[in-house]
A and B are shown apart, each in its own frame.
Chain A
């Protein structure tokens, strides 16, 4: 048995090694496929093994790296929380490293450097792994920045497109502001504890005011990375423009690292949360979830749509965290624990199904050269495996039983329903309203994924390129299959997952969910068996029976089918002549009823252009219709900030005269001022 420390070192060395070996990829492209991606896979497997070992009660370790400042060595510490998030990184990383070689084939003829891509990917993963291992604020910030900068390089990888450069700039800006806020949050703890080490910070007793300030800073700092509305604005810009496997890592894993940072800071370092933080998180989470799904419904770009769904799911995770903080703050730690477990469970689930969906979107982009939903269609017969796995992803993200998205949302609902135990009438009312928002979010997500799947995979192909698209390479299919199976496994074994998650939460809260697994692995009974129970395996068996019925009917009627084959005819066209692919419902058309209902939430610009015939001015020859939904917060929040910054800069710019003697004078007066201060 290899110790967790060795495995962790292997994971880190492999991801670092992947970054270094990729540097020669431009002269030897084989390196990427035969060395860089296999190393990432090794790193992923090692990470998952570390997680498995810790989640089954294995011991962690503390390590002091000979790096950093003379009086402050880098401290790494592996506990169950870090191990769990390391496991999330590992799971997605394995899939990505199997998927990557096939996907990068499309880049062979593009003018971009493979070395940069490989090195940045390796560094990005290396940074994320170190963030979750960091045991002092200094290491945390440095590795956090490593992660941010490496991911920036990946976002602007296809830098010849101006939109990508713009997205990268927005991302980098927000990442830096967020990092500044996180630094300030750590600063509060440093000021009272006098040390960067998490061990010391954990023991710091803060006054309620300072604790609140630290919490607010952490929420906005980590929220900026995670994509809490209104700080989500970079997310739908940056995630779609990166290569697909990077989008999977960013949406699936990097956002989770932000969640890790927040959980570590709020539930571990700050100690007992105040109930008002819970309310803040609940409100922020519900708004984020609903806002994300509404905007996802309006998108036509598949990857952008998925990015908005990441915003939605981060909202759901924060609702769980909010319930946890609320119940902890009001002295109901058993329920708080339940909320925390629900949030962590959803974090895991979202990492899996979102990576799956992004990988699928990458295949459509690579094989069909299309990222606009309005031009897709009929892919189910062209790429059957991808279609099947993508369907699993759609069902999971729509929170439908028996897949994994449902299990974690079910737990969140169960936690929210325990609000009757609260003393305050106002809080008793707020929590169920949050649950209502969550219910609305889930239902809208299902509508959105009917749209995605129905438009992209079903029906008829809307362009010629899609008609000739074919299935991806086996590695890419295998990666998706792996994630799809995980969606199912984590969906039908919720009790096992919850028991494993208890290992993560016990050190944080000192509580156990005694009731959760009392009835065995078949039954999930989060509060008490009489209050609520869910047996995912039985539901799965029930659904399987329906599928088996189909199989039996299919086999039993084989003879009859041979005698009289199922007649294939054209669909009924109402007597107007053949139906073509343009007559199908479009993605915009599909979402139109919901767009009408939720109109106040959108900034919609519609444009109809009608070109008339030259000969006959009343005869239209061409019609075009464009619709664009802009994120409301650009106009409400970011443009005003941009205006203030620009105005401020203009005022400051007055001292920038451009004449040398003025600058010499500035230097002189500064020196005098400093001398005076020193003396």
Chain B
């Protein structure tokens, strides 16, 4: 809880926020390659962001202050949530400030404002996107909390840093509960970040879009903040999956060598996860909207089975 700790947390957050568009672009690049298309440069999202920040803003006549405030809240809460997730080094002071339940709450707060902003202009698309997003979220959030509860029970702590440390330090045991939690978190992550098969980030087809429908009316720096927040959220779930279930390599002390190794290892792990995501997105078709509840119910059930297998099999 020292000044150095806070500075390190801030530095991690800056790296996280800066690297988020890169991860999105990495996934996009591999999707393009798998689809036999020529990929754009890895730095393309940064150029887009620069362009959007410089552009003028055009607002709908009916837009209220909620519409203008929402991008900042969405970006802010996502960044705050990102600072809670163990990234390169463990024991960040932010992980004591907010535990995993608060993390879920922060993401929910961002989503609340995103959905409100979508309904603000009063177009049918916005309402549609908000309605669908809240439907997906209201089923995905409990599943996410189930995963969190399973991890919390395994490590007897809801503090994410402690959870990772517990998994890292303890003797390696193949726990069925963690396997289930891992699967469930993958499914939840796909739904929450709006990836195929739940939502398609590359489409503007009214029948299928969820996230894009919500930010349809945004322009300029507002759009930039929204896009950036979305890529941060994708990165957040990716880091969560990687660091919770494959934590080996994460730095436990803030020593330069450990930090460098941890950074490189994390980058490799994220790169692999990104490729995996690109492959699944290429191989799987988007689901019909009303199949999504089944998908999320499966995620919830898997998470629940994971938790039950912990409380019944693994504690005595």
Answer yes or no: do A and B interact. yes
Binding site for B on A (CB under 8 A): 377-378, 380-381, 391, 395, 398-401, 406, 410, 413-414, 417, 419-420, 425, 428-429, 432-433, 435-436, 439-440, 442-444, 446-447, 449-451, 453-455, 458-460, 523, 529-535, 538-539, 542-543, 545-547, 549-550, 553, 564, 566-573, 579, 581, 583-585, 589-594, 596-597
A549–B304 Cα gap in the complex (Å)?
40
A577–B114 Cα gap in the complex (Å)?
27
- Once A378-B122, A450-B115, A453-B116 are accepted as A-B contacts, the answer to whether A530 and B157 lie under 8 Å apart by CB is yes
Instruction: Map CB proximity to A onto B124-142 as digits: 1 under 8 Å, 0 otherwise.
Output: 1011101110110111111
A455–B128 Cα gap in the complex (Å)?
12
- Once A429-B311, A568-B59 are accepted as A-B contacts, the answer to whether A447 and B135 lie under 8 Å apart by CB is yes
CB neighbors of A among B37-63 (8 A): 56-63
Across the interface, name the chain B residue whose C-beta is closest to A537.
B97
* Known interface pairs A440-B142, A591-B131; 18 further A-B residue pairs with C-beta atoms within 8 A, sorted by A's residue number: A413-B149, A420-B153, A450-B112, A453-B119, A454-B116, A454-B127, A458-B64, A530-B157, A534-B99, A543-B73, A547-B72, A564-B56, A568-B59, A571-B121, A572-B217, A581-B122, A584-B123, A590-B131
Interchain residue pairs with CB less than 8 A apart (9): A432-B308, A446-B134, A447-B138, A530-B162, A533-B159, A535-B98, A546-B76, A547-B73, A584-B122
Contacts of B56 in A (CB 8 A): 564, 566-567
Question: What is the distance, in angstroms, from A428's C-beta to the closest C-beta of chain B?
Answer: 4
The answer to whether B77 and A546 touch across the interface, beta carbons within 8 angstroms, is: yes
B199 at interface by CB-CB < 8 Å: no
B271 at interface by CB-CB < 8 Å: no
Question: What is the distance, in angstroms, from A207's C-beta to the closest C-beta of chain B?
Answer: 33
Contacts of B34 in A (CB 8 A): none
A343–B35 Cα gap in the complex (Å)?
54
Question: What is the distance, in angstroms, from A273's C-beta to the closest C-beta of chain B?
Answer: 22
CB neighbors of A among B212-240 (8 A): 216-217, 221
B105 at interface by CB-CB < 8 Å: yes
Contacts of B127 in A (CB 8 A): 454, 459, 584-585, 589-590
Contact among B61, B73, B158, B307 with A414 in the assembled complex (CB-CB below 8 Å): B158
A380–B66 Cα gap in the complex (Å)?
9
Contact among A444, A545, A593 with B131 in the assembled complex (CB-CB below 8 Å): A593
The answer to whether B60 and A447 touch across the interface, beta carbons within 8 angstroms, is: no
The answer to whether B138 and A435 touch across the interface, beta carbons within 8 angstroms, is: no
Contact among A401, A531, A549, A583 with B124 in the assembled complex (CB-CB below 8 Å): A583
A439–B148 Cα gap in the complex (Å)?
11
The answer to whether A543 and B80 touch across the interface, beta carbons within 8 angstroms, is: yes
Question: What is the distance, in angstroms, from A72's C-beta to the closest C-beta of chain B?
Answer: 50
Question: Could you say which of B73, B138, B149 has the most chain A C-beta atoms within 10 Å of its C-beta?
Answer: B138
Question: What is the distance, in angstroms, from B301's C-beta to the closest C-beta of chain A?
Answer: 11
Across the interface, name the chain A residue whose C-beta is closest to B309.
A429
The answer to whether A432 and B311 touch across the interface, beta carbons within 8 angstroms, is: yes
The answer to whether B112 and A446 touch across the interface, beta carbons within 8 angstroms, is: yes
Contact among A436, A579, A590 with B122 in the assembled complex (CB-CB below 8 Å): A579
Across the interface, name the chain B residue whose C-beta is closest to A583.
B124
Question: What is the distance, in angstroms, from B239's C-beta to the closest C-beta of chain A?
Answer: 18
- Once A428-B311, A531-B158 are accepted as A-B contacts, the answer to whether A454 and B130 lie under 8 Å apart by CB is yes
A572–B69 Cα gap in the complex (Å)?
21
Instruction: Map CB proximity to A onto B64-81 as digits: 1 under 8 Å, 0 otherwise.
Output: 111011001101110110
Contact among B65, B97, B123 with A535 in the assembled complex (CB-CB below 8 Å): B97
Contact among A543, A550, A572 with B123 in the assembled complex (CB-CB below 8 Å): A572
Contacts of B242 in A (CB 8 A): none
Contacts of A591 in B (CB 8 A): 131
The answer to whether B315 and A428 touch across the interface, beta carbons within 8 angstroms, is: yes
A446–B105 Cα gap in the complex (Å)?
11
The answer to whether B72 and A571 touch across the interface, beta carbons within 8 angstroms, is: no
Question: Could you say which of B69, B99, B124, B131 has the most chain A C-beta atoms within 10 Å of its C-beta?
Answer: B131
A583–B80 Cα gap in the complex (Å)?
36
Contacts of A579 in B (CB 8 A): 122-123
Contacts of B258 in A (CB 8 A): none
CB neighbors of A among B180-199 (8 A): none
The answer to whether B64 and A381 touch across the interface, beta carbons within 8 angstroms, is: yes
A26–B296 Cα gap in the complex (Å)?
59
List 6 tightest A-B contacts by C-beta distance, closest first.
A546-B76, A585-B127, A454-B119, A459-B122, A447-B134, A443-B141
A572–B149 Cα gap in the complex (Å)?
44
Contact among B118, B135, B289, B307 with A432 in the assembled complex (CB-CB below 8 Å): B307
The answer to whether B119 and A401 touch across the interface, beta carbons within 8 angstroms, is: no
The answer to whether A533 and B76 touch across the interface, beta carbons within 8 angstroms, is: no
The answer to whether B311 and A566 touch across the interface, beta carbons within 8 angstroms, is: no
A455–B115 Cα gap in the complex (Å)?
11
The answer to whether A429 and B308 touch across the interface, beta carbons within 8 angstroms, is: yes
Across the interface, name the chain B residue whose C-beta is closest to A454.
B119
Question: What is the distance, in angstroms, from B216's C-beta to the closest C-beta of chain A?
Answer: 7
The answer to whether A420 and B156 touch across the interface, beta carbons within 8 angstroms, is: yes
Question: What is the distance, in angstroms, from B18's C-beta to the closest C-beta of chain A?
Answer: 17
The answer to whether B124 and A585 touch across the interface, beta carbons within 8 angstroms, is: yes
Question: Could you say which of B57, B134, B307 has the most chain A C-beta atoms within 10 Å of its C-beta?
Answer: B134
The answer to whether B112 and A459 touch across the interface, beta carbons within 8 angstroms, is: no
A440–B141 Cα gap in the complex (Å)?
7
Contacts of B308 in A (CB 8 A): 429, 432
- Once A401-B102, A419-B311, A460-B62 are accepted as A-B contacts, the answer to whether A439 and B109 lie under 8 Å apart by CB is no
B164 at interface by CB-CB < 8 Å: no
B172 at interface by CB-CB < 8 Å: no
The answer to whether A413 and B101 touch across the interface, beta carbons within 8 angstroms, is: yes
The answer to whether B115 and A380 touch across the interface, beta carbons within 8 angstroms, is: no
A442–B145 Cα gap in the complex (Å)?
11
The answer to whether A443 and B132 touch across the interface, beta carbons within 8 angstroms, is: no
A381–B61 Cα gap in the complex (Å)?
12
The answer to whether A400 and B109 touch across the interface, beta carbons within 8 angstroms, is: yes
Contacts of B105 in A (CB 8 A): 399-401, 406, 410
A378–B111 Cα gap in the complex (Å)?
21
Contacts of B96 in A (CB 8 A): 523, 529, 533, 535
Question: What is the distance, in angstroms, from A289's C-beta to the closest C-beta of chain B?
Answer: 12
- Once A546-B72, A585-B124, A585-B127 are accepted as A-B contacts, the answer to whether A458 and B119 lie under 8 Å apart by CB is yes
- Once A400-B112, A532-B99, A597-B293 are accepted as A-B contacts, the answer to whether A432 and B149 lie under 8 Å apart by CB is yes
Across the interface, name the chain A residue whose C-beta is closest to B117.
A458
Contacts of A451 in B (CB 8 A): 131, 134
The answer to whether A459 and B102 touch across the interface, beta carbons within 8 angstroms, is: no
Contacts of A455 in B (CB 8 A): 119
The answer to whether A534 and B142 touch across the interface, beta carbons within 8 angstroms, is: no
The answer to whether B122 and A377 touch across the interface, beta carbons within 8 angstroms, is: yes
The answer to whether A443 and B60 touch across the interface, beta carbons within 8 angstroms, is: no
B108 at interface by CB-CB < 8 Å: yes
The answer to whether B60 and A590 touch across the interface, beta carbons within 8 angstroms, is: no
Across the interface, name the chain B residue whose C-beta is closest to A590.
B131
Contacts of A539 in B (CB 8 A): 80, 97-98, 102, 106
The answer to whether B141 and A439 touch across the interface, beta carbons within 8 angstroms, is: yes
Question: What is the distance, in angstroms, from B103's C-beta to the closest C-beta of chain A?
Answer: 10
Question: What is the distance, in angstroms, from B219's C-beta to the closest C-beta of chain A?
Answer: 9
Contact among B62, B153, B159 with A459 in the assembled complex (CB-CB below 8 Å): B62
Question: What is the distance, in angstroms, from B283's C-beta to the closest C-beta of chain A?
Answer: 27
CB neighbors of A among B83-103 (8 A): 83, 96-99, 101-102
The answer to whether A543 and B131 touch across the interface, beta carbons within 8 angstroms, is: no
A596–B65 Cα gap in the complex (Å)?
33
Question: What is the distance, in angstroms, from B79's C-beta to the closest C-beta of chain A?
Answer: 8
- Once A446-B137, A458-B116, A459-B122 are accepted as A-B contacts, the answer to whether A549 and B72 lie under 8 Å apart by CB is yes
A409–B132 Cα gap in the complex (Å)?
25
Across the interface, name the chain B residue whose C-beta is closest to A597.
B293
Contact among A395, A440, A589 with B138 in the assembled complex (CB-CB below 8 Å): A440
Contacts of B141 in A (CB 8 A): 439-440, 442-443, 446
B284 at interface by CB-CB < 8 Å: no
A594–B135 Cα gap in the complex (Å)?
6
Contacts of B131 in A (CB 8 A): 451, 585, 589-593
Question: What is the distance, in angstroms, from A533's C-beta to the closest C-beta of chain B?
Answer: 5
Contacts of A547 in B (CB 8 A): 69, 72-73, 76
A440–B138 Cα gap in the complex (Å)?
7
